[in-house]
Structure 1
Amino acid sequence: MRASVLLEMEKWFDTCNIPFLIVGDINQVDFSCDKLSSSEKPIEGAEEFNQWKIRNELVDIPYKGPRFTWCNNRKREKRVYERLDKAMGSKEWLSLFPDTGIKHYPIQISDHAPIEVDLNLIRSDGKRPFKIDAWALDFEECLEKVRNV
């Protein structure tokens, strides 16, 4: 069902004429650094999800706090931690609210950690460094944009 949900969202993006922010349990790990487990299997669906984000020009919103927002609560080697709760915004959203960030809180009651949108999270540091994740350079679209800039 994940593919059909992403397709429906893509249709909405095409008709949306307002800046938007998507926040919540996205239920997809993007990168191996966002998963901690004893398994070394590749992350299912990550490539398709990252291509979907690029195709729709979605930008990952930075976060502060613990990396992982979900735990399966199993014992020892069967325990898994993942960053499933996150935010992505349109370019238009980030041009209006460039300091938007997400606060991750510790996992305590649920198997998910609470997260909070903060429109001034980045500015609170006093620093706004530009960075690009190395994975992005694996995609020709990203390389082309970097070359153009």
Structure 2
Amino acid sequence: MSLLAWNCRGLGKPRTIQFLKHITQQKRPSIIFLSETLAREKKVAEVCKTLNFAGFISIEVQGRSGGLALLWKNEGGCTVIEATRNYIDFEVENEGVGRWRYTGFYGCPERQRRRESWGMLLNLRERSNLPWCVIGDFNDMMYEDEKRGGNKQPSYLLTGFTETLETCQLKDLGFVGEKFTWERSRGSNFWIQERLDRGVANQKWRELFPEAEVEVIEVATSDHLPLYLQLNRRVYMPKEKKFRFENIWVREKECRNIVKHGWEAGETRDIVHKIKSCGEKLQEWGGGITKEFKRKLGHC
């Protein structure tokens, strides 16, 4: 079972829907939590149908900001406990594991309202003794190094959020991938990066899912990066790579010589071995060029 949480900054953009379709096909999350949907319930229903999910709940946008949505695959094993403008509290039934609780959270973005966010977490803590996991955009940071650029985060905000998590007995689940999940003014002198999105859980939940892992996924359709939580991390055995000729190699002058030397190296063998010899030489030589091309592409 897996879960996706993302501040999508609006479900009205075709690129956002395309990304959700792609990530659903690739990662197959059982639950998707979206914040800042900027959408009405009708739009969320369309997205739910497009992704082929069984059920959803939507907190509609008010004015020009906000909006939450929770979509799930297995309607029978999921129960919504409470839904507000800032969170959707959800109970999950896993076969062989039992019941646990998930809260999709969206903290108040206004600095003067951060104490409201902390109060919500404290109130949620008192409502259940189930294994509990909270993931979303908290609009808060725990440490100074979770921000790059701009003014330093005030210490009272760092301390207040950290102490709230400690009181709730919620510990950070860590992450794989990019450290900063939100950014503004990329490439300029005012570029700011922060880790506002995270997953936290209590001891019972971490004991229930000791191999759980949070992955930060790169995406260009929002200023926030999505979080993908895999409850039972799978270990894949590496497969033997098959040779594939890259068209970009033809542009390199050295390619002709590599083929020539590879062919001549197998001159005493049959044509199958000659082709294999060429492939091995090309793969050894062309790997660096392919990586360099991908690096340049990523930079662009």
TM-score normalised to structure 1 length: 0.74
Secondary structure at 2:134 match in 1: strand
40 and 2 in structure 1: CA distance in 2 versus 1, 3 angstrom threshold: closer
Q: Does 1:117 align with 2:117?
A: no
Secondary structure at 1:103 match in 2: strand
Structure whose CA Rg is larger: 2
Secondary structure at 1:9 match in 2: helix
What residue ranges of structure 2 are gaps of 5+ in the alignment?
1-112, 237-300
Name the counterpart of 1:62.
Answer: 174
Q: How many residues align?
A: 124
- The Cα shift of 1:87 comes to 0.5
**One-letter identity of the residue aligned with 2:115:** A
Contact 1:38 1:77 in 2 (8 A): no
- The Cα shift of 1:74 comes to 5.1
- Per-residue CA deviations over 1:44-100 (Å, capped at 9, x if unaligned) read 511111111111111100110011110013552211001111011011111101121
106 and 44 in structure 1: CA distance in 2 versus 1, 3 angstrom threshold: farther
Name the counterpart of 1:146.
Answer: none
Which has the larger share of strand?
2
- Counting only pairs closer than 5 Å after superposition, residues 21-100 of structure 1 correspond to structure 2 as 21-40=133-152, 42=154, 45-73=157-185, 75-100=187-212
- Counting only pairs closer than 5 Å after superposition, residues 1-20 of structure 1 correspond to structure 2 as 1-20=113-132
2: CA distance between counterparts of 1:58 and 1:104? Answer: 20
55 and 48 in structure 1: CA distance in 2 versus 1, 3 angstrom threshold: same
2: CA distance between counterparts of 1:110 and 1:73? Answer: 13
TM-score normalised to structure 2 length: 0.38
**One-letter identity of the residue aligned with 1:52:** T
2: CA distance between counterparts of 1:113 and 1:23? Answer: 13
Contact 1:59 1:90 in 2 (8 A): yes
Match of 1:101 among 183, 205, 213: 213
Q: RMSD of the alignment, in Å?
A: 2.1
Contact 2:147 2:153 in 1 (8 A): no
Contact 1:100 1:117 in 2 (8 A): yes
Give the fraction of aligned pairs with identical amino acids, expressed as a percent. 25
77 and 24 in structure 1: CA distance in 2 versus 1, 3 angstrom threshold: same
Name the counterpart of 1:128.
Answer: none
2: CA distance between counterparts of 1:75 and 1:42? Answer: 25
What residue ranges of structure 1 are gaps of 5+ in the alignment?
126-149
| Larger RCO, structures 1/2 (Cα 8 Å, 6+ apart) | 1
